[in-house]
Structure 1
Amino acid sequence: MPVRPIRLYGDPVLRAPSAPIETIDDGIRALVRDLLDTVAEPGRAGVAAPQIGVGLRAFSYNVDGEIGYVLNPVLVEVSGEAMPTGEGCLSVPGLWHDAVRHPHAKVVGVDLDGQEVVLEGDGLFAQALQHETDHLDGMVYLQRLTPEERRVAMREVRESDWF
């Protein structure tokens, strides 16, 4: 399957909460292949279905050499003191700002066989889990910035050549 183009900030699909996946069929299997192919590109830690134009609850990840996916993920646990952490987003290219994230996160969902998947980790993996589930809830990381940082980021978005 192809590497899918990434939707950019301002696209309505990035602002809408994603629908749960009701049935795992050939279309969902193709979506997972596309998510995995798209996240495998160098420098990518995660890709949520809305970022490739699909409003369904699914994301792929690529952290520390481990590539995978989860369907219908729910962020069930975060722990540790939330703190500003350097972050970027494929849908907001060229920007890097400190988003407020917890150092530990746990997501529960299912795989293509309907079996439970538990993803849990610290550091970059925790950050990716929080970032990707935010996408599925219609949120882009810019909304996790402090008010001052968000003003700077929004100015950068408006001045970018892609917006």
Structure 2
Amino acid sequence: MTAGSTGLGDWTPAVLGPPGRVRPVVAAPHSVLSRAGTEVDPLADEVVRLAADLIATMRVSPGCVGLAAPQVGVGAQLFAVDVTGHPKSVTVHGEFVLCNARVVEATRWRPGREGCMSVPDLTGDVKRASRLVVEGVLPGTDKPVRLVTDGFEARALQHEIDHCAGLLFLDRVAGAHAIYQRKVYL
């Protein structure tokens, strides 16, 4: 794969087959959120179904830009991301799901505010790389991908990879002074 290539090619969620089902999102302190997920076989039927479920659940969740398998109660290394249309997004690769993803390069660290569906009442300031290279595999294929991104999409990817490793954004904040009550708009 060439440097800078996304490897996503013409992959779309349609590769996943029938639409997924919406799953309930678990909240901290659920134990699945604090355990590292297991690697998955991207060709396994249950992984392809789970990928479709993550997309379906993410689509019905207002403001959601990413969702990892542990957030729906499954201890697996699989997550969906889509930052399309988010006002902080510059680089956008669209809607995609990755299996067994890992960060291979992280640079230009910047603080930023994060929230999470599994921690619905809090947000926090987290320092993350604003330039990122991630490798993983697309579900339903054995196709490895190398994703080069930056800014908000890089933050979203790191957040979801952390979920797959058993970490919440709360594990990355500098201390209690960097945690805030989520604002509720009526």
Give the TM bin, normalised by the shorter chain.
0.7 to 0.9
**Would the aligned equivalents of 1:40 and 1:67 in 2 still touch at CA under 8 Å?**
no
Say if 1:74 and 1:133, in contact at 8 Å, map to a contact too: yes
Q: Which runs of 4+ in 1 moved over 2 A?
A: none
1:40 maps to 59
For residue 52 of structure 1, the aligned residue among 61, 69, 72 is: 72
Structure 2 residue runs without a partner (length 5+): 1-19, 86-93
Q: CA RMSD in A?
A: 1.7
* Superposed displacement of residue 148, structure 1: 3.5
Q: Which runs of 5+ in 1 are unaligned?
A: 158-163
Q: Distance in 2 between matches of 1:123 and 1:9?
A: 27
Secondary structure of the corresponding residue to residue 102 of structure 1: strand
Q: Select the residue among 120, 125, 128 that pairs with 2:148.
A: 120
Q: CA deviation at 1:23?
A: 5.8
Alignment of 1:14-93 (within 5 A): 14-22=33-41, 24-41=43-60, 42-65=62-85, 66-80=94-108, 82-93=109-120
Structure number having the greater helix percentage? 1
% identity of equivalent residues: 35
Deviation track 1:13-45 (CA, whole Å, cap 9, x = no partner) reads: 000001001362211111010011112233111
Question: 1:89-104 maps to which residues of 2 (within 5 A)?
Answer: 89-104=116-131
Q: Check conservation: 1:78, 1:104, Cα contact below 8 A.
A: yes
